Amino acid sequence: MDCSSTEILVDVGCFRLYKDGHVDRTGGTDTVPAGFDADTGVTSKDVVIDSATGVSVRLYLPHIQAETHGDDKEVPILVFFHGGYFVVGSARCPKHHRHLNSLVARACVIAVSVDYRLAPEHLLPAAYDDSWAALNWAVSGGDPWLSEHGDTGRVFLAGVSAGGNIAHNMTIAVGVRGLDAAVPARIEGTILLHPSFCGEARMEAEPAEFWDAVKKRWGIIFPDAKDGLDDPRMNPMAAGAPSLGKLAGERMLVCAAAEDPRRPRERAYYDAVKATGWAGEVGWFESEGEGHAFFTDKHDSREAVALMDRVVAFIASH
């Protein structure tokens, strides 16, 4: 027997990655169906956007009232990328579904939750490619909900954890190359919820065990990454990465948790965006006493409510 098929390189609880590149998923696989949510008045549905790859999105439509939003009933579009280390999770995940129902109702946005392909079965950059395709599909009005009710002049990108990493990469890609969509669209803002960044040189404040696990995982799920963890998609501050001054949009909110080992990189990213002289406005929001992506589990906690309030205010401001 090949020992690489039994040697575990990374074990994070919800999955184990083996040296030969295969995975055992022990969590993060639960799903809930789309439909009407009685608590929020939000309706959702699943739409396949690429039959060749099977990539789909879950769309969320708020209860839109003409007297609140005008006769055209156009509301902002929020393109959302779920978390899960690029390895687990989906747009059908119960925690993300609940979070988006609440956010869509409170912020009155149409959300497009991207169900990108997962590694290691689909090695990176597949997740980035799928997310780029979904973003362009969304701003092109790929579904009547979007074409009839979505305001392509007010598009927001958001993601949690690995999805926050994707949201950054989509934002910088739009700034560097522009959208592929034939219709005009404007990225107004980006919301990074505990985004996952790293680098080949461990920061002093990063726990060594955490950094080592990220390095091993990245090597398996993105073997062709340029310069390992210093690939610009994982380390936006690496030499050769696109200037953060080229980020698309007018506003950005970087959200962190005080007890999250990712916090040092998130703060460094925030400081780097400010230092570039980016023309947009960047804000920082930190949840005290909480760990990574806590708000998806503890959605009713004081800190989770405060974070939701901040995100809703960010979307609402002009």
- Known catalytic residues are 161, 260, 292
Helix (H, G, I), strand (E, B) or coil at 15: strand
H or E segment and range at residue 81 = strand 75-81
User: DSSP characters for 282-296?
Assistant: EEEEEETT--TTGGG
CA–CA gap between residue 8 and residue 19 (Å, rounded): 6
Count of residues in the chain: 318
**Is-contact 198 230, C-beta < 8 A?**
no
DSSP 275: H
CA–CA gap between residue 306 and residue 167 (Å, rounded): 22
What crossing angle do the helices spanning 162-177 and 126-139 adopt, rounded to 10°? Answer: 60
Q: Which phi-psi region, left, alpha or beta, contains residue 28 (left: φ > 0; alpha: ψ -120 to 50)?
A: left
297-304, long-range: CB < 8 A, 24+ apart? 297/95, 299/95, 299/98, 299/99, 299/102
User: Alpha helices, DSSP H only, in the chain?
Assistant: 66-69, 94-107, 126-139, 144-149, 162-177, 208-221, 263-275, 302-316
Q: Which residue in this structure is represented by tokens 């002049």?
A: 153
